[in-house]
Amino acid sequence: MRIGIVCYPTFGGSGVVATELGLALAGEGHVVHFITYDRPVRLDPRIANVFYHEVRVSDYPLFDYQPYELVLTSKLVDVVMHERLDLLHVHYAIPHASAAWMAQQILQAKGIRIPFITTLHGTDITLVGRDPSFEPVITFAMEHSTAVTAVSESLRKDTYEHFPVHREIQVIPNFIRMDRYASAANPQLRERFAPRGEKLLVHVSNFRPVKRVMDVLKVFTAVREQMPARLLLIGDGPDRHAAETYCRANGTCNDVLFLGKMTDPEAVVASCDLFLLTSETESFGLAALEAMACGVPVVSTNTGGTPEVVENGVAGLMNPVGDVEAMTRNALTILGSPASLANFREGARRSASRFDIARVLPRYEALYAEVVEQVKVDGIHQ
């Protein structure tokens, strides 16, 4: 098939999932065209069957706000026509789903039928989407997508709760390439980050308030009082300054390492002992799944879709949002003995393998075949 993928090219999980999906599809012989404003961070241009189309918005001085959605729409029309695409798959509803719908209507007027699938990733529904000013557009775009998927049961439920949507939403969970993480641990990195044999805790996020990064620091500080430990923070974002200020105030700066954004965090994560995910909510928690695939257990909050990903008591331990004491206890339980850590490590990897790409990719391919057929038979939903 000839597939167009629209996503955010940044470090967020939705962009990572879209890119990995496209690469896997290309590996199966499909031709995949990425359409977005920058090359997705994990997109290697040397890979066969993969193409990238940049959406460039000119900065005409009349516009205080550049009309990205319209430029994206025009680009979609152009790529669908000239690359003879069979379908579009847009990741993250805002503004990709409504742009895809507009492109579909324009193409219809030219006699071209193109189905589009919208995959909901989380904040498009749970945070941004709940801003009432977005509601009518997102609802409309979901209703008029040829198919809609959500990355967890929890997100599917949230979508029905927060939007007046009546159509079917299929859950296709995020996935992981287990082989990519199999041998990621690096003894030299371990030696560098834990020179005195400290336990290594790690957190990866965009440091937005929803991640509750201060809880990560509080848990780490409490764990460090019980055992030699260091914390690696991967990513960057609005709460980084507050995190640094906290470390300075608590005298933990030497043991908290801010590594910034990384395109391949697995080498570092795999060399750690425990992943902390303290979020207010996560539709899925891809960062936790990546850690599990590396054999790193997770202490996480039990909200949103995370309980569908982190098997409590097997891949890690869960606790309510904001319960720093429980998180500390859980961290100490996992790290408390070599036997416990080894058990959780093994459980984490086993648990992650439920999401191996080999199980998930065929579900997307089946859906693609279905929507292409549906549009042939029923035409476009106006």
Measured from the CB atom, the residue of 25 and 31 that comes closer to ligand GMT is: 25
Q: Environment class of residue 208 by beta-carbon count within 10 Å: exposed (0-12), middle (13-18) or buried (19+)?
A: middle
User: Which residue lies nearer to ligand GMT by CB, 13 or 295?
Assistant: 13
Question: What's the rounded Cα separation, in Å, for the pair 74 and 93?
Answer: 18
Nearer Cβ to ligand GMT (284/368) = 284
Distances (CA, A) of 326 to 212, 279, 299, 311, 344: 15, 14, 10, 17, 17
Contact status, residue 290 vs residue 269, Cβ threshold 8 Å: yes
CB closer to ligand GMT, 17 vs 79: 17
CB of 15 to ligand GMT, least distance (A): 6
- Host H or E run for residue 355: none
Rounded to the nearest whole angstrom, what is the least distance from the CB of residue 377 to ligand GMT in the complex?
31
**Which whole-number Å values give the CA distances from 2 to 128, 279, 335, in the listed order?**
31, 37, 48
Closer residue to ligand GMT, CB minimum distance, 14 or 139: 14
Beta bridge partners of residue 308, listed in sequence order: none
Q: Which residue has the tokens 């697995």?
A: 266
Binding site for ligand GMT (CB under 6 A): 12-14, 17, 92, 121-123, 126, 151, 174, 206, 208, 210, 281-286
For the CB of residue 300, give the shortest distance to ligand GMT in the complex, in Å.
11
Distance CA 154, CA 136 (A): 22
39 Rama class: left (phi>0) / alpha (psi -120 to 50) / beta: beta
Cβ at position 206, least distance to ligand GMT in Å: 5
Shortest Å, Cβ 304 to ligand GMT: 6
Euclidean distance between CA atoms 204 and 206, whole angstroms: 7
**Smallest gap from residue 97 Cβ to ligand GMT (A):** 14
Q: Which is nearer to ligand GMT, 14 or 159 (CB)?
A: 14
C-beta of 124 vs 255, nearer to ligand GMT: 124
CB of 283 to ligand GMT, least distance (A): 4
Shortest approach of ligand GMT to residue 113 CB, angstroms?
29
Residue nearer to ligand GMT on the CB measure, 123 or 319: 123
Least distance from C-beta 224 to ligand GMT, angstroms? 26
Cis, bond preceding 95 (omega within 30 deg of 0): yes
Q: Pick the closer one to ligand GMT by CB: 208 or 350.
A: 208
Burial 13-26 (b: 16+ CB within 10 A, else e): bbbbbbbbbbbbbb
Could you identify the residue written with the tokens 């775009």? 141
- Only one residue has tokens 């960062």, namely 287
Q: How far is Cα 154 from Cα 140, in angstroms, rounded to an integer? A: 21
CB within 8 Å of 281: residues ≥ 6 apart = 122, 126, 210, 303, 304, 321
